[in-house]
Amino acid sequence: MTATRDRGDGMLSLPALRDLRLTELTEAADGWRKVSGRAHAADQRVESEMLKPLKETQVGEAATAAYKRLGRVRQNFRYVYTECALIETALRGLALELEGPQRKLEHALEDARQIGFTVLDDGGVGYPAAGTPDAGGTLPQGGVVRGRPPSHGWFGRQGGFGKGDNPNEERARALADTIWSALDEAGEINSQYKGAIEKLKAEQGLTVDSGTWADVSGDMASVHKAADDAMKSQIPLDKPPADRLEWWNGLDEEAKTQLLAAYPDVIGNMDGIPTAVRDQANREYLPILIAKVEAKPSSDSKARDQLIALREIDRKLNSGDVPTMFLLGIGDQGNGRAVIAFGQDPDTAKNVSTTVLGMNTALDEDFAKKDLKGAFDIAAGARVLDPSSTAIVWMGYDAPQSLSEAMDTKYAQKGAPALNGFMDGLVTTHQNGDPHLTVIGHSYGSLLVGTASQQPGHIPGADDIVLVGSPGVGVDKAEEMGVPPRHVWVGAAANDIVTHAPSPSSLVDSVRSILTVDGPPADQLIHGRDPAAKDFGAIRFQSEAGPDEWKFTDPKLGINTEAHGSYFNPETNQVSVDSIAAIVANQPGKVAYEIPRGAHGVFVPGPRLQQ
């Protein structure tokens, strides 16, 4: 359906590229866009005017059966909406990318016409006799040359052509090479799109099920691969969140609908795009992603873990639980990606927290059932103090998956720019002025937060930083983290072994101090000074001690981690949850304070802690 012809060698023929009307491709794309838009409108009407009223007003077997049938109708419309948008994207991308080689060909043809050369339909360039006459007065004869591939060797461009005595020959060769290049480039583009478009077919009587969505995933991947250059020219992937928001707001509704259908995975994960849009895009992409992961081999353990998590996230999205859930990011790359909010829309909430988790975090059952519950509980607690609050879990990086990996700072260094990009997006899309933003780092996630705080400009918009179960954050003083004084908070359970694990150099210092009686060992953990220590300068809040360190063994690590994982759990550590919720809700007066490690006497916060 590419409306172009090649010569049998992969290159496009000169007449095909010369005579191609790109407007025909864009007009066809417009037609598919309209079909996609109508399907989307029908999908929305089925949801708002049929499914929702039916669910709210009717009960019984007949209502249940009707609900299922209408659900299938909606799935059909969503399938049409997505596939037609992919066709539109492919056709528009094809037209956009063929514009360059067609323009190159047109310029070469015009240059040839201006100097009186002839261009043949096979791309050859004919040139007239010219040069210095021989003894008999005959000019060096003219001829025809054809383009050569742009390979280079020791003696310049290769192609088996020698330089003749006719000066027109060199000019003709340059034109022929340009024409060859244009036809070859157009042929490559045509082949890319041809394969993608040929996949966009549906059998008559198709039933839309998980297998169908797996096919849609494949179709989407093919179109994205073919239209990658076109996409990058349309979607500001390399721009900051403010530029992305300006771009999005400048689109008409039809263009937005098309992008959401063809690139839900891209739009849904773009910092700077409004929350409601990201949530819609990711909800529409989720069944496609589930089908994609579901289609992977049963021997793929990571895929099995991700499938459990994705299905649980889908269940939570449709559960109707309060606080409300927003899906701000989802993907299967690396260890998996997920950005999920609970509470008020982050674009309108007064208080927004973002939690970065640490070692062993991945898109798996633990994340979907335990980690999300932690954010849910923090949101619930904060909303008791201020209903205009929301809590986000940000899994936008690959966390270390073992103790040896957790000793390495590279995961934090790679993840820090992504976290700052997300925080910049929260600031950019917020609708009600300056929100109160809290960044929470747990375990290795606290190192990532510390690393992000050292980037130029620190963490965008951050008002408070909370560090729990920290092995060190890569800085020695709270004041270095870029938030107002006394706005760095730390929770460190007495029996959290991670908050006591010394760095290798600290172990050496400890032995040396014992042998030389130089005093107590330094308060250095694996990744720097203990944030709970007095000299770090953070405000420590209370946490339940947790079970004795050696009475519980984590099956993955072989050491006690119960206290380490308790900071967000109201069942085992209510005092920690309440304090974190108070910080998130911007009510520090409700925080339960704890004496920092190494401090003596009674710790009284005093007036300097007031906001």
Q: What is the pLDDT of residues 442-460, one digit of tens each?
A: 999 999 999 999 999 999 9
423, pLDDT greater than 70 = yes
User: How does DSSP assign 529-541, residue by residue?
Assistant: E-TTBGGG-PEEE
**In the prediction, which pLDDT does 462 show?**
97
Residue 4 has pLDDT above 80, yes or no: no
Q: What is the model's pTM?
A: 0.83
Residue 562: is its pLDDT beyond 90? no
- Decide which of 285 and 3 is more confident: 285
CATH fold for the domain made of 320-611: Rossmann fold (3.40.50)
**Which amino acid belongs to residue 307?**
L
Percent pLDDT > 90 in the chain is 64
CA angle 293, 367, 324 (to 5 degrees): 95
Structural domain boundaries of the chain?
103-198, 320-611
pLDDT of 195 strictly over 70: yes
In this structure, is the dihedral angle defined by the CA atoms of residues 545, 442, 282 and 210, taken in order, positive or negative? negative
Per-residue pLDDT at 559? 58
Could you give the CA distance from residue 46 to residue 52 in angstroms, rounded to a whole number? 8
Task: Give the CA radius of gyration of the chain.
Answer: 31
Look up residue 536 and give its two tokens: 């770090």
Give which of 474, 487, 503, 382 is closest to 439, Cα–Cα.
Answer: 487
Confidence band of 156 (pLDDT split at 50, 70, 90): very low
Helical ranges in 321-453 per DSSP H: 365-366, 372-385, 403-406, 410-429, 444-453
Instruction: Tell me the mean pLDDT in the region 468-489.
Output: 94
CA torsion sign for 601, 602, 607, 611 is positive
The token pair at 584 is 């998130």
State mean pLDDT over 110-119.
95
Q: What is the pLDDT of residue 502?
A: 76
Average pLDDT of 364-391? Answer: 95
The amino acid at residue 449 is V
For 285-330, the pLDDT digits (tens) are 999 999 999 999 989 999 999 999 999 999 999 888 888 999 999 9
pLDDT of residue 108: 96
- The CA distance from 13 to 18, in Å, is 9
Q: What angle separates helix 241-249 from helix 410-429, to the nearest 10 degrees?
A: 40
pLDDT for res 602: 47
Across residues 508-523, what is the average pLDDT?
44
Helical packing angle, 210-226 and 167-198, nearest 10°: 170
